[in-house]
Chains A and B, each alone.
Chain A
Amino acid sequence: MGRASVAVTALSGLASAGAVWVATISWGSFVTQPRGFLFPLALVAVVVAATGIGMRLLGRGPVATFVVQLVLGGALTSALIGGNPIPVGPGWRSLWTAVEAAAETSTRFAPPVPTGGEEGVAPLLLLGGLVCLLAVDLVACGLHRPAVAGLPLLAVLSVPFGITGDGVSWWVFAVTVAAYLTMIGLHETALVDLWGRRLDDAEAMPRPPRGAALVGGSATLLAVTVPVIVPGLDVALLDLGRGAGGGGDINVTNPMVSMRDDLVRGPDRPVLRVRTDDRRPAYLRIATLTTFADGEWRAGDRKVPDNQTADGEMPPLVGVSPTVPRQEHEYDVRTFDSFDSRWLPTQPHISRIEADGDWRYDLSTMDFIAGEEDLLAADMSYSFTSVDLDLTSDELIDASGAVTGVDDRYQELPDDLDDGIADLAEQVTRHADSDFERAVALQRWFRSDRFTYDTEVDLDSSADDITAFLQPGNRRGFCQQFATAMAVMARELDIPARVSVGFLRPERVGAEEWEYSTHDLHAWPELYFTGFGWVSFEPTPPSRASSVPSYTEGFDIGAEQEPEVDLDPALPTQTPSATARPTAPAPEPVVAEPDSVDEGFPWGRVLGGVALALLLVASALLPWVVRRRRRARRLAGTTEDVWAELRDTVVDLGLGWPAGRSPRATAAELEPHLPSAESRQALGEIVREVEAARYSLHPTTGAVCRQAAPVVDALERGVTPATRRRARWWPRSVFTRQAATASVGDDSADLVDSGVGRR
């Protein structure tokens, strides 16, 4: 065998084994440790490939090769799995045990599945890899059908989809395709070499054919990019739909659970740092709890399709009328490593945010949750623009009582809630006329002496706990209880309410730098008012939350001197507290800022688009213009010009201008294309003129232009309208350089060409 064919055999064997091995890398997406099976499989692949190459070089047939490969590969696999190369007797038992354990693991665990160890799934993967290696080697190299060998490869690549729903990463696909195309290319090269004697300067070793890399590379590029670009063929960078639910919902975790631990028990660790021009940053919100069910406040479902990500402009504030004055501040946040949160802290109202990673927001809550499994807010830097609404109590009092623009779930309460809570809420707010006043009444009631802030209580936020918390003697709790109680009571009063969890107030560490730590974790209620959106309130007693929002103070809500009806009538009522202490700092000066609506008509973009369109139109029309002008110039010119025009017309119409012929012979070739006798006669006249001009002793220039137009017209009439249109708008003569009329080489040579450029 020649060296070339030896090389081809070796390369084909290696390519087929390599293709399978690279394809099995994609299996790593559903196991914990891909290395656990990839390295043993590589060993098996090398053995199978070497065996195949050796047998083929010895000249054995496909069946014998397959048998030997099966024997050797099987022995090695069984040695790797069970420890015994011979799968009979004790070896078989150990092999079988390992495989059974693997099968059980695969059915029991959800991906990612453990790979190694006693119950690892590696044996199954090794066996599967061995089968695929043998199949591909047999089909591609033994039976010489490399194209069909793509089917086992496709099967290998499709396994991850069936198990986890993941696609295959692009580089695994690209390398597998490259190996597959190499197999096909090698096969074709071998076929070509068998065809006959090589006349060219052949080298000893096979070289990749020209254009193979180009075609293969572009095809792979298209294969990887087109499904991403074309909707519907979405490779889906992230599939949020797996598991329960669909439509992009995520089941979220409850930040309240960890908050208690961090706040109450843990040390005060700094968690994140903020740089902002806001002079009093407060209430950095982590997440919103929207649902009170099953005994706890939960974050509820989120609708986060993949176009709602934290990169760029945010939708307008929920429920906030555009006439509300507002002020924007830039925030640059940097989180520390310890902040293992799946929520990204932001201010409650933001207008834009730039954060790396797949952070999705829900339109109704506007909090940010991680869109990927292992995405955490630890050690991140991101920035956002917060919107400070300038709310005044007068406006809020005048807010419409009809609740529009918010979901019903914010008013839902569990059925097992104590009815006394509703009565209590009615009692507390009996002097208030509007919803806002009722909310403020509740806030003031919670902040009065009736309640004490205590982090040592053993209460949670279930219905029973709330009832217990509201008992006159038991009124001790921390922010969780206050926030949840106020939210529950607000819902009883038909005010949409929800609880937000976040940071209360940071510590100043620099000129414009603030640091939030774990002891700043806080919970507060947000209530919805039509036209003003979600408004925060602060029911936690002053020992914890020293200030309240400015719009909740500075006005009276009727007389608050009446005794209350408590849940336990035995206990005496307490005097209502005085109006809220003016502990808040002076309200910020209201800066009347013009509403920032859209940026105005985007002149730049429109002009740029128009210019581009004009450019495109101009370039499309250019060939036609050039051709027309040429024709006009030539038909009025000399004989040679007319002849050149005739040639260009023929080339444009795709009729084929014979090269290297005399004018008379050329005319003879053109005659079939001329339908009428007059045009043929005109052509003859032109030929005579051309000959006279070129070859006669005394060249004269006659009136040729008269005959040229009929010939041109006749030629054009003789072709289809489509060809005419194409000749008009895309004239070939403008684009192709006219090659020299004489052809190179021996004129007696019989020529065959590719036919390109000539019909």
Chain B
Amino acid sequence: MREALAGLTVRGRAFFAAGVTSVVCAVLLGQSTLSKAGVLLVALPLLTAYVVGRARYRLGLVRVLAPQVVTAGQPARVRLSVTNEGRMPSGALRLEEQLPYSLGARPRFVLERIEHGWQREVSYQIRSDVRGRFEIGPMTARMSDPFGLVEMHRTFHTTTPLLVTPRTVDLPPLQLGGAIAGSGDNRPRSFATGSAEDVTVREYRRGDDLRRVHWRSSARVGELMVRREEQDWQSRATVLLDNRAGAHAGRGSASSLESAVVMAASVAVHLARRGFTVRLVTAAGEEAGGSWHVREAEASAAALLEALAVVETVPTVTLETGWLGEQSYGGLTVAVVGRLTASDAPAMRRIHHHAGLALAVSLDAEAWAADRARAAATAPRPDGPADTPAAALLARQGWRVATMRPDSRPDQVWRELGARSARAVRPVGGVRTSDLLGGA
């Protein structure tokens, strides 16, 4: 009852106040009609609060979300199962599901006459165009009375998480032949030209999988020798996403980070489908969910997408390179970067050295930052690695760079990457012609 009295609406409080005033005036003036009206106005909210406060209802709610992980733009369906395990509530129950704004309008339901044991299933659809992790729920219930004088709030407790992964674009398969010349013993071979027959062995080190022991060589040498899976490290790929706050421009879903995420996701999915073991690295280091695991392509792609779904900008200034380890040496690295400064050059050089094949997609962050009108007014410049300072920097270090702009499509950029030869190192301010590129 106390809670019901605290839940008096504006109308309820106004009635009560008006009633008290009327009663006082009626006593002073002796007006009988006013005293009747005053008693009525005082009695109504109190009686209503009493009746509502005594209501014993018990609602059960089960929420099922299918599927729990969706791509941006794909709908998901929420199924609610509402039951009444208590007595019939004395007024109308108004249920509202709390949804984040980006998931659409909040669904609302009304329950009025539900007896004990009543059950109903209802479903609604949600769709998000923005990647991220969203909590669906909790559902709020509002209990009111027939005259709108009292309102009590209750909230369910459970929420259901929805993960919206970034959109991916199908990328065309590339010929990445003519790989960068590396150095050292561990000569990287182009994955396209390697074959499974070549087996080289090395010494057994602690931690190697026993299944990789090559018994013939071991018998010959007298020590355990482990088959060096050339495809193993050769088929490892790293997708580096530079998510530093300073590297990107724009806000919200039109920011360059989103395009970078889409690019990185598309690349990761593509590489995973091609048989690579892909891991995701951001400016803060290796992503916990995105490290290498031996699993099948779809599963690893799904894990990478989930990791990418929640990538946010970090305020660090430098690129973390601690993830460059023994195992990543010689693999394929695809870097999706934004603005790069001179202080990033050492990190990028290290990464380049580590990688067997280094590809980079450089986002022209200024294009995102620029005004839309101005960006439209500028004539589309022909792609060239010397366009942006970041691209130039990377190209100098030996990366294969393609520049991405707000209007570029990821598959175009990828094709451009493939068409470029790593040798095409251009001096700064070099000729911006495309005739030096190794074919379109």
- Contact assessment for B148 and A188 in the assembled complex, using a CB-CB cutoff below 8 Å: yes
Nearest A-chain residue to B157, judged by Cβ? A750
With an 8 Å Cβ cutoff, the count of chain A residues facing the other chain is 63
- Contact assessment for B113 and A200 in the assembled complex, using a CB-CB cutoff below 8 Å: yes
Q: Classify chain B: how many residues form its interface, as a range.
A: 35 or more
Q: Select B147's contact among A167, A181, A753, A755, beta carbons within 8 Å.
A: A181
Say which one of A49-57, A215-223, A332-340 lies at the interface with B. A215-223
Residues of B within 8 A of A185 (CB): 146-147
Q: When chains A and B are docked, how far (Å) is the Cα of A200 from the Cα of B3?
A: 26
Residues of A within 8 A of B89 (CB): 754
- Contact assessment for A750 and B62 in the assembled complex, using a CB-CB cutoff below 8 Å: yes
Residues of B within 8 A of A748 (CB): 62
Say which one of B35-43, B239-247, B274-282, B418-426 lies at the interface with A. B35-43
Say which one of A99-107, A227-235, A520-528, A557-565 lies at the interface with B. A227-235
Q: Select B32's contact among A235, A750, A755, A757, beta carbons within 8 Å.
A: A235
Residues of B within 8 A of A211 (CB): 51, 90-91, 145-146
- Contact assessment for A754 and B36 in the assembled complex, using a CB-CB cutoff below 8 Å: no
Residues of B within 8 A of A755 (CB): 3, 154
Q: Select B85's contact among A193, A223, A745, A756, beta carbons within 8 Å.
A: A745
Q: When chains A and B are docked, how far (Å) is the Cα of A232 from the Cα of B85?
A: 48
Residues of A within 8 A of B48 (CB): 215
- Contact assessment for A214 and B51 in the assembled complex, using a CB-CB cutoff below 8 Å: yes
Is B141 interfacial (CB-CB < 8 Å)? yes
Q: When chains A and B are docked, how far (Å) is the Cα of A294 from the Cα of B147?
A: 64
Q: When chains A and B are docked, how far (Å) is the Cα of A502 from the Cα of B404?
A: 122
Say which one of A153-161, A369-377, A429-437, A644-652 lies at the interface with B. A153-161
Q: When chains A and B are docked, how far (Å) is the Cα of A223 from the Cα of B90?
A: 23
Contact with B along A725-753 (1 / 0, CB 8 A): 00000000000000000011110111111
- Contact assessment for A191 and B31 in the assembled complex, using a CB-CB cutoff below 8 Å: no
Q: When chains A and B are docked, how far (Å) is the Cα of A752 from the Cα of B89?
A: 13
Q: When chains A and B are docked, how far (Å) is the Cα of A745 from the Cα of B119?
A: 10
Contact with A along B17-52 (1 / 0, CB 8 A): 000000100110011111111011001100110010
Is A199 interfacial (CB-CB < 8 Å)? yes
Is A201 interfacial (CB-CB < 8 Å)? yes
Q: When chains A and B are docked, how far (Å) is the Cα of A161 from the Cα of B32?
A: 8
Is A173 interfacial (CB-CB < 8 Å)? yes
Q: When chains A and B are docked, how far (Å) is the Cα of A214 from the Cα of B90?
A: 11
Nearest B-chain residue to A177, judged by Cβ? B40
- Contact assessment for A752 and B155 in the assembled complex, using a CB-CB cutoff below 8 Å: yes
- Contact assessment for B53 and A193 in the assembled complex, using a CB-CB cutoff below 8 Å: no
Instruction: Report the minimum CB–CB distance from A686 to chain B (whole Å).
Output: 30
Is A210 interfacial (CB-CB < 8 Å)? yes
Residues of B within 8 A of A177 (CB): 40
Residues of A710-731 contacting chain B, CB below 8 A: none
Residues of A within 8 A of B145 (CB): 211, 215
Is A209 interfacial (CB-CB < 8 Å)? yes
Secondary structure call for the B interface: mixed
Is A202 interfacial (CB-CB < 8 Å)? yes
Nearest A-chain residue to B82, judged by Cβ? A199
Instruction: Report the minimum CB–CB distance from B429 to chain A (whole Å).
Output: 64
Q: When chains A and B are docked, how far (Å) is the Cα of A750 from the Cα of B55?
A: 19
Is A63 interfacial (CB-CB < 8 Å)? no
Is A342 interfacial (CB-CB < 8 Å)? no
Is A629 interfacial (CB-CB < 8 Å)? no
Instruction: Report the minimum CB–CB distance from B82 to chain A (whole Å).
Output: 7
Is B187 interfacial (CB-CB < 8 Å)? no
Contact with B along A210-253 (1 / 0, CB 8 A): 11101110111011101100001111100000000000000000
- Contact assessment for B94 and A196 in the assembled complex, using a CB-CB cutoff below 8 Å: yes
Is B86 interfacial (CB-CB < 8 Å)? yes
- Contact assessment for B58 and A200 in the assembled complex, using a CB-CB cutoff below 8 Å: no
Residues of A within 8 A of B54 (CB): 756
Is A601 interfacial (CB-CB < 8 Å)? no
Q: When chains A and B are docked, how far (Å) is the Cα of A188 from the Cα of B110?
A: 13
Residues of B within 8 A of A109 (CB): none
- Knowing A196-B110, A199-B122, A209-B112 touch, does A749 contact B33 (C-beta < 8 A)? no
Is B255 interfacial (CB-CB < 8 Å)? no
Q: Select B35's contact among A199, A202, A227, A745, beta carbons within 8 Å.
A: A227
Residues of A within 8 A of B138 (CB): 750
Residues of A within 8 A of B156 (CB): 750-752
- Contact assessment for A752 and B37 in the assembled complex, using a CB-CB cutoff below 8 Å: no
Is B61 interfacial (CB-CB < 8 Å)? yes
Is A43 interfacial (CB-CB < 8 Å)? no
Residues of A within 8 A of B60 (CB): 745-746, 749-751
Instruction: Report the minimum CB–CB distance from A573 to chain B (whole Å).
Output: 64
Instruction: Report the minimum CB–CB distance from B363 to chain A (whole Å).
Output: 44
Is A350 interfacial (CB-CB < 8 Å)? no
- Contact assessment for A223 and B39 in the assembled complex, using a CB-CB cutoff below 8 Å: yes
Instruction: Report the minimum CB–CB distance from A600 to chain B (whole Å).
Output: 42
Q: Select A744's contact among B85, B88, B94, beta carbons within 8 Å.
A: B85
Is A168 interfacial (CB-CB < 8 Å)? yes
Q: When chains A and B are docked, how far (Å) is the Cα of A235 from the Cα of B36?
A: 8
Q: When chains A and B are docked, how far (Å) is the Cα of A743 from the Cα of B84?
A: 12
Contact with B along A157-195 (1 / 0, CB 8 A): 110110000011000010001000100110111011101
- Contact assessment for A147 and B15 in the assembled complex, using a CB-CB cutoff below 8 Å: yes
Is A198 interfacial (CB-CB < 8 Å)? yes
Contact with A along B312-335 (1 / 0, CB 8 A): 000000000000000000000000
Residues of B within 8 A of A754 (CB): 55-58, 86, 89, 143, 152, 154
Most buried by A among B15, B44, B122, B144: B44
Residues of B141-166 contacting chain A, CB below 8 A: 141, 143-148, 152, 154-158
- Contact assessment for B55 and A756 in the assembled complex, using a CB-CB cutoff below 8 Å: yes
Residues of A590-626 contacting chain B, CB below 8 A: none
Q: When chains A and B are docked, how far (Å) is the Cα of A757 from the Cα of B14?
A: 29
Q: When chains A and B are docked, how far (Å) is the Cα of A193 from the Cα of B94?
A: 10
Is A197 interfacial (CB-CB < 8 Å)? yes
Nearest A-chain residue to B158, judged by Cβ? A750
Most buried by A among B3, B55, B147, B157: B147
Nearest A-chain residue to B148, judged by Cβ? A188
Residues of A within 8 A of B78 (CB): none
Q: When chains A and B are docked, how far (Å) is the Cα of A173 from the Cα of B120?
A: 43
Residues of B268-295 contacting chain A, CB below 8 A: none
- Contact assessment for A210 and B147 in the assembled complex, using a CB-CB cutoff below 8 Å: no
A-B contact pairs, 12 of them (CB 8 A): A188-B148, A199-B95, A199-B122, A209-B91, A210-B146, A212-B147, A215-B145, A236-B30, A746-B60, A749-B60, A750-B61, A753-B58
User: Which residue numbers of B lie inside 8 Å of A, CB to CB?
Assistant: 3, 11, 14-15, 23, 26-27, 30-37, 39-40, 43-44, 47-48, 51, 53-63, 81-83, 85-86, 88-92, 94-96, 107-114, 117-118, 120, 122, 138, 141, 143-148, 152, 154-158
Top 5 closest A-B pairs, CB basis?
A: A196-B108, A167-B32, A749-B60, A223-B40, A209-B146
User: Which residue numbers of A lie inside 8 Å of B, CB to CB?
Assistant: 147, 150, 154, 157-158, 160-161, 167-168, 173, 177, 181, 184-185, 187-189, 191-193, 195-202, 208-212, 214-216, 218-220, 222-224, 226-227, 232-236, 743-746, 748-757
